[in-house]
Amino acid sequence: MTRASHAAARGRGTAARGAGARGAAAQGAGSSGDRAILHLVDRHIGEECGVFGVYAPGQSVATLTYFGLYALQHRGQESAGIAVSDGETVTVSKDMGLVTQAFDERRLAPLEGHLAIGHVRYSTTGSSTWRNAQPIYRSVGDAGFALAHNGNLTNTEALAADLGKFPGVVTPSPVHDSTSDSDLVGELIAGEYGAQPRSDGRDLEHALARVVPSLDGAFSLVLMDEAHLVAVRDPHGFRPLALGRLEGGWVVASETCALDIVGAHYLREVEPGEIVTIDATGLRSIRYAEPRPRLCLFEFVYLARPDSVLYNQNVHAARQRMGEELAHQAPVDADMVMPVPESGVPAAQGFSRASGIPYGDGFVKNRYVGRTFIQPSQQMRADGVRLKLNPLPENIEGKRLVVVDDSIIRGTTSKKIVAMLREAGAAEVHLRISSPPYRWPCFYGLDTGRRSELLAADMSVGEMCEYIGADSLAYIEVDRLVRATGAPAGGFCTACMTGEYPTSVPDAEAEGLAEAGAVSLEEPVHFLPAPADST
Ligand code: SF4
């Protein structure tokens, strides 16, 4: 017997500027999920999601999952959820808000079992409601499974049509209450789950193996039924997924920082095109497709936590190398190198190291800013950056500054930052950005808005410099950025910077993007005909 119970819903070039339920509440019950959550300070791009899974008999898997999600909080702050199995029953508990808001000891205590999965969500498809919080659960007869997804699919409309859904039911809109692409994956797996019943209990991994060739785009998934923990990554491996060993168990997580926090040691990545299953017999692997690695380059630039490891490279050290590359590519006479905290810190350190210009702090960041239910005044909202960053005039006055940040998406924040520094007495402000101009939208799990919202979409670097009000502006070149990762042979997606999409893009966007010069490489994926097991 399997049941799901849910928590109640609550709720390149340099440009110079001229001069200068748990408990069985019905889905959607409760209302605070409807409350406006105000993003006090918009990060330039919306993070995606984080997934975690653990198989550890005899240990408190719910608590391990809680701390795993806590380490992955930067990847999604809208909802958090945990599913646990005690061998007979799968119990799902999820809620809106941060991990610490969704769970406390009282809510974790009943989540007993030997395997669990968890999810932190930033909605990139489907609305930000409790209903779309994950893990999602599907029952199939007297069995069932839970699923947590990081990434976005690019063929949701076709998949929905195959399932008999009306056009538009699955949309990338954050305002319409819609089905998420993760729901679709759940339905597809449920459809296969009972189709060919197996005597060995390995229905979930084999249903998954039959479904994954139909999915286009980005998916790093963790799934579970009563007895199995399953992890899978799309053939391009857009989103990271790490495998770790725990004393007496196994852990999978979006990033290695979540392995560290629970005391697991990193073994390897779940490979692109691989399904990993963990159960009482140990770990086994199915290769369902030949890997075409295209890890999101932005994971290195901004998304991943600096203490995480990608392609066996420490992310913090890679970001410092990005700053060094920038200093060689776009040198400038200046008195101080300063970061836009926190994300610009390692690249600013690297720029300082390579240029010999002293490193210093020009801003103090409010470490606790995030989101609030209290509406600030219109004036405060218009001046939103000041809620997060306050300049240090004593460090800035009369100085020629190199200001290092990791990205510019819409440009509004950068414009305010430059204005604040000039107000505080800066003599010159030279912006150096540790990612190339972000000109194209992402369809693989990042929320950047539409192309029309991207500052670099139709502006030259010189025009952007003028708009932002800096004395000079330079973005790192793509080749230098890839070299800075330390894993140039790893294989990266660079679509948002180059317009070269590794896969087909959603039909609704294809024509407009093609007219603007984007290309869908549609790199062929070679699916392996019959899943072969290995351990
Ligand atoms: Fe990452 Fe950009 Fe590719 Fe999206 S389009 S996966 S943000 S590199």
Q: How confident is the model at residue 175 (pLDDT cuts 50, 70, 90)?
A: very low
Which residue's structure tokens are 């990608």? 310
Q: Is 501 in the pocket of ligand 1 (CB under 6 A)?
A: no
Atom 2 in ligand 1: which residue has the minimum CA distance? Answer: 496
Instruction: Check residue 15 and give its pLDDT.
Output: 56
Number of H helices, E strands in the chain: 18, 29
**Candidates 296, 300, 435: which one to mutate for ligand 1, based on the most atoms within 8 Å of Cβ?**
296
Which residue's structure tokens are 């449920």? 190
Residue 168, helix vs strand vs coil: coil
Atom 4 in ligand 1: which residue has the minimum CA distance? Answer: 442
Q: Is 496 in the pocket of ligand 1 (CB under 6 A)?
A: yes
Average pLDDT, the chain: 85
Q: Is 482 in the pocket of ligand 1 (CB under 6 A)?
A: no
**Residue 239 identity:** R
Q: For residue 9, what is the DSSP state?
A: P
Contact 443, 509 (CB under 8 A): yes
How many Å apart are CA 168 and CA 176, to the nearest integer? 10
Q: At what angle do helices 315-329 and 345-355 cross, to 10 degrees?
A: 50
How many Å apart are CA 481 and CA 474, to the nearest integer? 13
Q: Is 446 in the pocket of ligand 1 (CB under 6 A)?
A: yes
Instruction: Check residue 62 and give its pLDDT.
Output: 98
Rounded to the nearest angstrom, the distance between the alpha carbon of 44 and the centre of ligand 1 is: 14
Q: Is 14 in the pocket of ligand 1 (CB under 6 A)?
A: no
- What φ, ψ does residue 399 adopt, rounded to 5°? -95, 150
Contact 58, 84 (CB under 8 A): no
Which residue's structure tokens are 């958090």? 80
Q: How confident is the model at residue 123 (pLDDT cuts 50, 70, 90)?
A: low
Contact 23, 92 (CB under 8 A): no
Residue 114, helix vs strand vs coil: coil
**Candidates 406, 493, 523: which one to mutate for ligand 1, based on the most atoms within 8 Å of Cβ?**
493
How many Å apart are CA 269 and CA 164, to the nearest integer? 36
How many Å apart are CA 51 and CA 254, to the nearest integer? 5
Q: Is 431 in the pocket of ligand 1 (CB under 6 A)?
A: no
**Residue 258 identity:** A
**Short-list 350, 352, 353, 361, CA closest to 334:** 352
Residue 495 CA, closest ligand 1 atom number = 5
Helix-, strand-, coil-residue percentages of the chain, each rounded to 5: 30, 25, 45
Instruction: Check residue 157 and give its pLDDT.
Output: 87
Q: How confident is the model at residue 5 (pLDDT cuts 50, 70, 90)?
A: very low
Rounded to the nearest angstrom, the distance between the alpha carbon of 186 and the centre of ligand 1 is: 24
Q: Is 494 in the pocket of ligand 1 (CB under 6 A)?
A: yes
Residue 239 CA, closest ligand 1 atom number = 6
Residue 218 CA, closest ligand 1 atom number = 6
Residue 296 CA, closest ligand 1 atom number = 1
Rounded to the nearest angstrom, the distance between the alpha carbon of 457 and the centre of ligand 1 is: 15
Contact 289, 235 (CB under 8 A): yes
Contact 121, 129 (CB under 8 A): no
Rounded to the nearest angstrom, the distance between the alpha carbon of 499 and the centre of ligand 1 is: 10
Length of the chain: 535
Q: Kindly compute the dihedral angle of the four CA atoms of residues 174, 176, 177, 181, in this order, to the nearest 10 degrees.
A: -60
HSE toward the beta carbon, residue 57, CA cutoff 13 A: 9
Catalytic residues: 49
Q: In this predicted model, what pLDDT tens digit does every residue of 496-522 receive, in sequence order?
A: 999 999 998 888 888 888 888 888 888
Q: In this predicted model, what pLDDT tens digit does every residue of 401-460 receive, in sequence order?
A: 999 999 988 888 899 999 999 999 999 999 999 999 999 999 999 877 778 888 888 899
For residue 78, say if its preceding peptide bond is cis, omega within 30 degrees of 0.
no
Q: For residue 308, what is the DSSP state?
A: -
Long-range contacts of 188-191 (CB under 8 A, 24+ apart): 188/159, 188/163, 188/214, 188/215, 189/138, 189/145, 189/147, 189/223, 190/138, 190/140, 190/145, 191/163
Residue 440 CA, closest ligand 1 atom number = 5
Higher pLDDT, 124 or 129: 129
Q: List, as one string, the DSSP characters of 340-365.
A: -TTTTHHHHHHHHHHH-PPB---EEE
**Short-list 316, 309, 517, CA closest to 434:** 316
> E strands, 271-426, where?
274-279, 282-287, 295-296, 309-310, 313-314, 336-339, 363-365, 371-372, 389-391, 400-405
- Looking only at the bridges linking them, the beta strands covering 115-121 and 79-85 are antiparallel
Residue 238 CA, closest ligand 1 atom number = 6
Q: In this predicted model, what pLDDT tens digit does every residue of 51-99 receive, in sequence order?
A: 999 999 999 999 999 999 999 999 998 899 999 999 999 999 999 999 9
Instruction: Check residue 492 and give its pLDDT.
Output: 97
For residue 135, say if its preceding peptide bond is cis, omega within 30 degrees of 0.
yes
Q: How confident is the model at residue 385 (pLDDT cuts 50, 70, 90)?
A: confident
Rounded to the nearest angstrom, the distance between the alpha carbon of 292 and the centre of ligand 1 is: 15
Rounded to the nearest angstrom, the distance between the alpha carbon of 152 and the centre of ligand 1 is: 11
Q: Is 493 in the pocket of ligand 1 (CB under 6 A)?
A: yes
How many Å apart are CA 88 and CA 83, to the nearest integer? 13
Contact 180, 255 (CB under 8 A): no
Q: In this predicted model, what pLDDT tens digit does every residue of 300-337 receive, in sequence order?
A: 999 999 999 999 999 999 999 999 999 999 999 999 99
Rounded to the nearest angstrom, the distance between the alpha carbon of 298 and the centre of ligand 1 is: 6
Contact 418, 429 (CB under 8 A): yes
Rounded to the nearest angstrom, the distance between the alpha carbon of 290 and the centre of ligand 1 is: 21
Atom 6 in ligand 1: which residue has the minimum CA distance? Answer: 296
pTM: 0.88
Contact 310, 336 (CB under 8 A): no
Q: Is 495 in the pocket of ligand 1 (CB under 6 A)?
A: yes
CA angle (96 as vertex; 184, 254 as ends), nearest 5: 60
Contact 423, 386 (CB under 8 A): no
Instruction: Check residue 173 and give its pLDDT.
Output: 37
